[in-house]
């Protein structure tokens, strides 16, 4: 017996009639979410799936170059992907090989909450984990998972906090690239009362000159440790006008259990003088 659900891109996916017992995740965020809930069901993950730190599963290469043969050998009942991190080409090839691939779309906090709820209640047929209730409490509110049931970026009922500081978030160096518009990270920031100075840029991750970044008017530049690994010796020294703060990239970009700690991190960013 099987059942058919439709993923966030409108593609039907055939799944077991009962709870899913074999999962391959090609998304670090969703790997952590599944492992934190029912680790024994996770049979494969990418090399970039670094949390939990003690996770021992078969590695299937990267998010954008998965080893399709290795995935197939694991006989997954579902393969988890998201539009931003995984290539359409790989999704298509996995499906052509007969594997059920479910694709989520996450460009905002409401969408992240919606994807996580759908993952457990519709895709995996598991109970909603306690940690997701904590995430919902921290980030839900108006326009949360319920308001994003259809994948909307923002509910008309969203009430955002006043801006208390302006920030910029580089994600790469040489060339410098920053978080722009229509990203989960940008929405996370604004829901924490932080204005992304590049939030209106037409590109999601635009390349900018260092002088433009340093002079954009941010109160602080947040330097994450992924995807580019900014360190005390690599990043802060480039800025002459803007203070910097090293932060966990996982807490800025991953949706799942890390969102609880992300709330605490962003609440600790000092307000502008």
Of the candidates 75, 71, 102, 113, the residue with the CA atom closest to the CA atom of residue 8: 102
Domain 2-139 and domain 165-267 have a common topology = yes
Residue 153 pLDDT exceeds 70:
no
Instruction: Classify domain 165-267 by CATH architecture.
Output: 3-Layer(aba) Sandwich (3.40)
For the record, the structure tokens of 66 come out as 């998965």
Return the CATH number of the domain spanning residue range 2-139: 3.40.50.1980
Residue 175 CA to residue 177 CA, distance in Å, equals 6
pLDDT at 150 over 70: no
The whole-number pLDDT of residue 141 equals 57
**How does pLDDT run across 129-139, given as a tens digit for each residue?**
999 999 999 99
- DSSP character at residue 193: T
CA distances from 236 to 19, 179, 229 (A): 48, 17, 12
Quick one: pLDDT at residue 160?
84
Least confident of 96-100, 178-182, 250-254, 267-271: 267-271
Cα 207–chain centre separation: 21
pLDDT at 69: 96
**Cα 62–64–67 angle (5° rounding)?**
55
Q: Is the pLDDT of residue 74 over 70?
A: yes
Q: Average model confidence (pLDDT) for the chain?
A: 92
Average pLDDT over every residue of 228-243: 97
In tens, the pLDDT along 158-178 reads: 678 899 999 999 999 999 999
The pLDDT value given to residue 118 = 97
Kindly state the helix (H) or strand (E) to which residue 195 belongs, with its residue range: strand 194-196
Q: Which residue has the tokens 């208390």?
A: 164
pTM for the predicted model, two decimal places: 0.90
Residues constituting the chain: 273
The domain limits of the chain are 2-139, 165-267
């Amino acid at each position: 017996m099987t059942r058919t659900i439709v993923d966030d891109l409108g593609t039907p996916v055939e799944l077991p009639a009962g709870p899913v017992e074999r999962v391959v995740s090609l998304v670090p965020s969703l790997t952590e979410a599944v492992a934190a809930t029912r680790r024994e069901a996770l049979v494969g993950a990418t090399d970039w799936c670094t949390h939990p730190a003690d996770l021992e599963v078969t590695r299937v290469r990267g998010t954008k170059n998965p080893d399709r043969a290795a995935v197939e050998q694991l006989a997954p009942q579902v393969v988890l992907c998201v539009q931003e991190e995984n290539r359409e080409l790989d999704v298509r090839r996995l499906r052509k090989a007969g594997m059920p691939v479910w694709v989520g779309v996450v460009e905002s906090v409401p969408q992240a909450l919606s994807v996580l709820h759908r993952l457990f209640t519709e895709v995996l047929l598991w109970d909603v984990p306690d940690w997701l209730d904590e995430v919902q409490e921290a980030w839900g509110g108006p326009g949360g998972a319920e308001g994003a049931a259809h994948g909307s970026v923002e509910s008309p009922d969203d009430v955002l906090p006043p801006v208390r500081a302006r920030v910029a978030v580089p994600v790469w160096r040489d060339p410098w690239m920053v978080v722009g518009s229509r990203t989960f990270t940008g929405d996370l920031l604004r829901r924490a009362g932080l204005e992304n100075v590049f939030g209106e840029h037409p590109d999601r991750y635009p390349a900018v000159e260092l002088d433009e970044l340093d002079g954009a008017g941010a109160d602080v530049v947040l330097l994450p440790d992924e995807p580019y690994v900014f360190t005390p010796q690599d990043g802060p020294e480039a800025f002459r006008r803007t203070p910097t703060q090293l932060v966990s990239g996982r807490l800025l970009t991953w949706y799942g259990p890390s969102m609880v700690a992300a709330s605490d991190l962003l609440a600790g960013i000092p307000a502008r003088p």
